[in-house]
Amino acid sequence: MELWFDEMHTRNARFGLRIKRELEHVRSKYQDIHVFETYDYGNLLVIDGTVQTTERDEFIYHEMIVHVPMLTHPNPKRVLIIGGGDGGAAREALKHDPNEIHVVEIDEKVVELSKKYFPNIARAYDDKRVKLHVEDGIEFVKKNAGFDVIIVDSTDPVGPATGLFEEEFYKSIKNALSPNGVVAQQCGTPFYHPEETCKAYALLSKLFKNVKIYLAYIPTYPSGMWSFVIASDMEIKERRKKSFETKYYNSEIYESSMVLPNFVKEHCENYRE
């Protein structure tokens, strides 16, 4: 007998991982969460049928969502992570030696399961500079400010994350940033859903002087081509060199990840809300 988890990338395309066993299945207040032990990818976190994290390739997503905005800022001391309950973004952000990292995760079950099954990801929570807030990120950014870097590390714009891709939220983000602050957000796959990437780009362009889309290869995410958007009133460039080991990121990647294939560029140039 073989057990497979298949994620539907579209109605007509799927990606499957062979499973040793189901470690946990929880219906939280917000979402349906599975943890599986796979053969090839270590432990696997699935939320509402969608791969969130695998032990094997999480380094790519977490390095790229964190080091690009953090190295754009000259000296990031106060960091806000919206979503990111697994702790991976906080783990990477700690490498920049900030004073405080606030992780605002709406679903405490994500944190709990990550601590239990993804200790190498969730170990950020052992550091005193990492403060967990179990609440809605949309509300949190209305009430708190003065962040040098904000990282929006959410699920895709369905379910509880929908509001994290709307104009009102981006206005709150802008207000919550320090004057030369930097925000980065994961924006899905521009191969299947260029409109999601282009919408975030368009909305952030109304609020910030400089906005760029960047890409990374993520094998377990749909199409393998994943997008992020970075925005700041400062020029978007790498201001510091990393002083730590990485498995994906390097200074050349910073620039090359912002080069887009024509079909993505053209979709965003022609995008109208």
By annotation, the residues acting in catalysis are 153
Select from 190, 202, 188, 128 the least CA-distant residue to 158. 188
Quick one: which segment of 74-82, 85-93, 178-186, 256-264 binds a copy of itself (CB under 8 A)? 256-264
CB atoms within 10 A of CB 47: 24
Alpha helices in 154-272 (DSSP H): 167-176, 194-207, 251-256, 262-269
Min dist. Cβ of residue 24 to a copy of itself (A): 20
Min dist. Cβ of residue 70 to a copy of itself (A): 17
Determine which residue in the list 136, 167, 171, 191 makes contact with a copy of itself, applying CB under 8 A: 191
Among positions 215-254, residues that touch a copy of itself (CB under 8 A) are 215, 217-219, 223-225, 246-250, 252-253
Determine which residue in the list 18, 116, 131, 209 makes contact with a copy of itself, applying CB under 8 A: 18
Helix axes 194-207, 167-176, angle to 10 degrees: 50
Pairwise CA distance, residues 118 & 85, whole Å: 11
Q: What is the CA radius of gyration of the chain?
A: 17
Q: Which is nearer to a copy of itself, 148 or 156 (CB)?
A: 156
Residue with token string 């953090």: 70
Min dist. Cβ of residue 74 to a copy of itself (A): 24
Among positions 133-152, residues that touch a copy of itself (CB under 8 A) are none
Quick one: which segment of 11-19, 25-33, 91-99, 137-145 binds a copy of itself (CB under 8 A)? 11-19
Q: Which is nearer to a copy of itself, 74 or 219 (CB)?
A: 219
Determine which residue in the list 49, 74, 146, 261 makes contact with a copy of itself, applying CB under 8 A: 261
DSSP state of 108: H
Among positive and negative, which fits the CA dihedral 87, 159, 222, 174? Answer: negative
Among positions 196-215, residues that touch a copy of itself (CB under 8 A) are 215
Pairwise CA distance, residues 214 & 143, whole Å: 29
Q: Return the beta strands (E) in the chain as ranges.
A: 3-10, 13-27, 32-38, 43-47, 50-54, 78-83, 100-104, 130-133, 147-153, 177-186, 210-217, 225-232
Q: Does 127 help bind a copy of itself (rule: CB under 8 A)?
A: no
Q: Which is nearer to a copy of itself, 101 or 213 (CB)?
A: 213
Q: Which residues bind a copy of itself (CB under 8 A)?
A: 4, 6, 10-18, 38-41, 57, 60, 191, 215, 217-219, 223-225, 246-250, 252-253, 255-257, 259, 261-263, 265
